[in-house]
Structure 1
Amino acid sequence: MTRRGRIAVWSGGALAVVLIGVSGAAAWIYQDLNGNIHSADVDNKIGGGRPVNLSPGSKNILVVGSDSRGGDNAKYGKGLTTMQSDTLMVLHVSADRKWATVVSLPRDSWVDIPSCDKGNGSKSAPHKFKINEAFAIGGTSGEVSGAAACTIRTVEQNTGLRMDHFMSVDFQGFKGMVNALDGIEVCPETAIHDEKAHLDLDAGCQTVKDEEALGYVRTRYSVGDGSDLGRIGRQQEFMEALAAKAQEKLTSPNALYGFLDSATKSLTTDKALAGIKPLSGLASEVKGIPTDRLTFLTVPNYAREADVPTDRANVVWQYPQAAELFASLAKDTEVDKEKLEADAKSPVYAHTVRVQVLNGSGTTGRGAKVAETLRSAGFTIVGVGNAPEDTKKTTVGYPQDQAGPAEVLASRLPGSVAREDAGAAPGVVTLTVGKDFDAVR
């Protein structure tokens, strides 16, 4: 129940309707609230080169907690000139509707941001930055559709997963849902004083609502290690408590209406999901999934500082575990969370992988460009040279003692093949760039 509840809250009011057991008596609510939900036409803005859908029937839904700074939210940073995203998750629902996985993508994930339409007649240049910037770039003109399109394009490029739907929930809707429940109890172990989140809380259990509730899920630097990963955990716990209280408290039409009115007014989806009926249909599918087959996890990652000592603010996704996670979802294969987390306990940092790059693509300068891209990702480049120009397949060759590092590199190169090479130089992984080379993930 509680895990389903987390999906309900972040996916909007219609999911909450189903999950708290509202039946025919609330039919009037459906009709009245249907018009609250905003739709965003993203299909024509995402662009080409999207991943192929490898598992027809399954669904990948991108869920964004929107950090809008307009209206009552201005106190959290009204100087910002673009839209912001505060929470980013991918919900994968299997084709047989027997399992689902929710993957949190830390907002400080250092990734490739592709070129996006900024909505003002210009396009951004492709570059590397933290993943939440995509929402701001696409939302330069203030339209959620553009922000969503750039975010979808960025997530797809970095995960290889085709997104089928999109949902965004903003600050004000969150506060309204909490207030409709007369607040949520939280139990911080230490006092929290965070000027950025406008939050002052004593240690111990207490009920928060309005700005305090919003500040609690937004606070970061004043709690624990100050990381976005810690905030993700607090947000998930808060949503679990909110969903549980919704089931307990929303028994009267007035209380239910206040909760759903706030939820639906803050909700923006792609056109196919923009309505109580399609959202309720999705909720019904999620509701039927057994609790023990509904998995919540965060993409394996580590502090980028391990590879780039000057960067103390961001995280990078951990390979090959991240690639294996996304490949499983792309093929609609259930993820073994325990195995994934166990495998991620001993990361192979990019800077420990020594790489020789050989250019066999037939394109002059390709090897040097690939080497520079890998270097910027933290890999240690020991040399750049040439291979036969008729090399068709991109390969990663390695001596026997470099199987782990080779796997890390190969997992960053979609379509590449890792092969043991008895003649390879000791301690070095050799990347031969072939004609099929696409990109470094």
Structure 2
Amino acid sequence: MKSHDENGDAAGKRPGRRPRLLKAAGLTLAGALVLGIGAAGWAYWHLNSNIKSVDINSALGDDRPAKSVTTPTPSGTASPLPTEAINILVLGSDSRSGKENKALGGGSSGGARSDTAMVVHIDAGRTKATVVSIPRDTLVTRPSCPLESGGSTAVAYNAMFNSAYAVGGAVCAVKTVESITNVRMDHYIEIDFSGFAKLVNALGGVTVTTDEDIDDDDSHLKLAAGTHTLNGKQALALARTRHGIGDGSDLGRIGLQQKLVKALLEQISSTNLLSDPTQLYTVADAITGSLTTDTGLDSLTELMSLGESLQGLSADDMKTVTMPVVTAPSNANRVVADEPEASELWESLR
């Protein structure tokens, strides 16, 4: 039989374990929080540093079309919507730099062109969008463009539209679009081959429906007419296909690209990324790792702000059109803007 002192000592030891356990649990939780915050901080830094940018505003100066007119914000509005429309030039670059891009596109690293060009116009209320594709084979007057190395390019007449990017990069692409449309490009976004493929894979593929069989030796895509879920490499091939459909012109490829853009938006909106942090990070890494933007969108915060303003926009709210063109008189394999229809379209986006 234990003495009173022995019972007291024994009783004292048992309660003493609880503070030690709570302390250990507290240290573990604190450590997890520190690691979590550290991981989140590293993830933000990594995603932010992924984004490459070009200072287009400084390069082009003030000799540009006017910005969209700002609409006054109604008084008493709790959460005011953006007050001006924005126009974003989106380019799909066929850059061959890096092993992944070479594997998907082949060729040398010095031959980058803008295979896809879309002007995305978003209305002031962020409730509707119009996507205008510019055929890469359009003959334009390419303006003189400043070069990063100094000096400038010469004005070129009857030049292919996509040559602007080839000779002067993003700055010349923006200046050429503004020159032929007289519409101010508020932002610039460029995505490369491997980034596009990674994005599609990170989303688990993209589902599209084709109206005819596709068999293109250049893009290496073979698809029977119907609905297909494509992986990244297949989706990229679809975006590049032109010879296996219609008359083999760039206009047929544009139709596929527009269909693909809508399908991607539908896939993103139907995927609950917030419930899967790993997939969310994979998607964010794929997007930021493949982007080149203007300096107004070159941070994760700025991209997220733009994305949040567009969260009510669905694929059904997006209209896709192609700049009106006709066959060029000088070359049956090229096109020129069909006037006055082309000018009327651009006027509607100012």
Alpha-carbon distance between aligned partners in 2 of 1:202 and 1:58, rounded to the nearest angstrom: 40
| CA-to-aligned-CA distance 1:115-145 (integer Å, 9 cap, x gap) | 123434453221121211111111xxxxxxx
Structure 1 residue aligned with 2:79: none
What one-letter code is carried by the residue in structure 2 that aligns with 1:137? V
- For the pair 1:238 / 2:260, whether they are aligned, the reply is yes
In the comparison of the two structures, how many residue pairs are matched?
293
Given that residues 132 and 323 in structure 2 are in contact (C-alpha distance below 8 angstroms), is that contact kept between their aligned partners in structure 1? yes
| CA-to-aligned-CA distance 1:396-427 (integer Å, 9 cap, x gap) | xxxxxxxxxxxxxxxxxxxxxxxxxxxxxxxx
Alpha-carbon distance between aligned partners in 1 of 2:115 and 2:209, rounded to the nearest angstrom: 22
Structure 1 residue aligned with 2:101: 73
What one-letter code is carried by the residue in structure 1 that aligns with 2:279? A
Structure 2 residue aligned with 1:278: 302
| CA-to-aligned-CA distance 1:38-83 (integer Å, 9 cap, x gap) | 2222222225532233524332211111111122222534146332
Structure 1 residue aligned with 2:63: 49
**Residue 199 (structure 1) aligned to one of 215, 221, 226:** 221
- For the pair 1:179 / 2:209, whether they are aligned, the reply is no
Give the CA RMSD over aligned residues: 2.7
Higher relative contact order (CA 8 A, sep 6+): 2
Distance 1:295 1:247, change over 3 A: closer
SS of equivalent to 1:260: helix
Structure 2 residue aligned with 1:319: 339
How much has 1:313 moved relative to structure 2?
A: 1.8
Alpha-carbon distance between aligned partners in 1 of 2:315 and 2:241, rounded to the nearest angstrom: 29
1:215-364 equivalence runs, <5 A: 215-249=237-271, 250=273, 251-288=275-312, 294-304=318-328, 308=329, 310-330=330-350
Structure 1 residue aligned with 2:36: none
Alpha-carbon distance between aligned partners in 2 of 1:202 and 1:275, rounded to the nearest angstrom: 41
Given that residues 47 and 288 in structure 2 are in contact (C-alpha distance below 8 angstroms), is that contact kept between their aligned partners in structure 1? yes
Given that residues 46 and 150 in structure 1 are in contact (C-alpha distance below 8 angstroms), is that contact kept between their aligned partners in structure 2? no
Alpha-carbon distance between aligned partners in 1 of 2:313 and 2:200, rounded to the nearest angstrom: 26
Alpha-carbon distance between aligned partners in 1 of 2:207 and 2:184, rounded to the nearest angstrom: 37
Structure 1 residue aligned with 2:155: 126
Give the TM-score of the pair, scaled to structure 1.
0.60
| CA-to-aligned-CA distance 1:12-60 (integer Å, 9 cap, x gap) | xxxxxxxxxxxxxxx7765652222222222222255322335243322
SS of equivalent to 2:244: coil
Alpha-carbon distance between aligned partners in 2 of 1:298 and 1:188, rounded to the nearest angstrom: 19
Structure 2 residue aligned with 1:104: 133
Given that residues 188 and 203 in structure 1 are in contact (C-alpha distance below 8 angstroms), is that contact kept between their aligned partners in structure 2? yes
Greater Cα shift, 229-238 or 51-60: 51-60
Given that residues 266 and 314 in structure 2 are in contact (C-alpha distance below 8 angstroms), is that contact kept between their aligned partners in structure 1? no
Alpha-carbon distance between aligned partners in 2 of 1:54 and 1:296, rounded to the nearest angstrom: 21
Alpha-carbon distance between aligned partners in 2 of 1:130 and 1:80, rounded to the nearest angstrom: 20
Given that residues 179 and 210 in structure 1 are in contact (C-alpha distance below 8 angstroms), is that contact kept between their aligned partners in structure 2? yes
Distance 1:119 1:83, change over 3 A: farther
Which runs of 5 or more structure 2 residues have no equivalent in the other structure? 1-39, 71-83
Give the TM-score of the pair, scaled to structure 2.
0.75
Given that residues 70 and 78 in structure 1 are in contact (C-alpha distance below 8 angstroms), is that contact kept between their aligned partners in structure 2? no
How much has 1:168 moved relative to structure 2?
A: 0.8
How much has 1:96 moved relative to structure 2?
A: 4.5
SS of equivalent to 1:273: coil
1:394-433 equivalence runs, <5 A: none
Given that residues 327 and 335 in structure 2 are in contact (C-alpha distance below 8 angstroms), is that contact kept between their aligned partners in structure 1? yes
Percent sequence identity is: 42
Alpha-carbon distance between aligned partners in 2 of 1:119 and 1:188, rounded to the nearest angstrom: 42
Greater Cα shift, 280-289 or 223-232: 280-289
Alpha-carbon distance between aligned partners in 2 of 1:169 and 1:79, rounded to the nearest angstrom: 18
> Relative to total residues, which structure has the larger helix share, 1 or 2?
2
SS of equivalent to 1:242: helix
Structure 2 residue aligned with 1:38: 52
Computing the radius of gyration over CA atoms, which structure comes out larger, 1 or 2? 2
Distance 1:264 1:48, change over 3 A: same
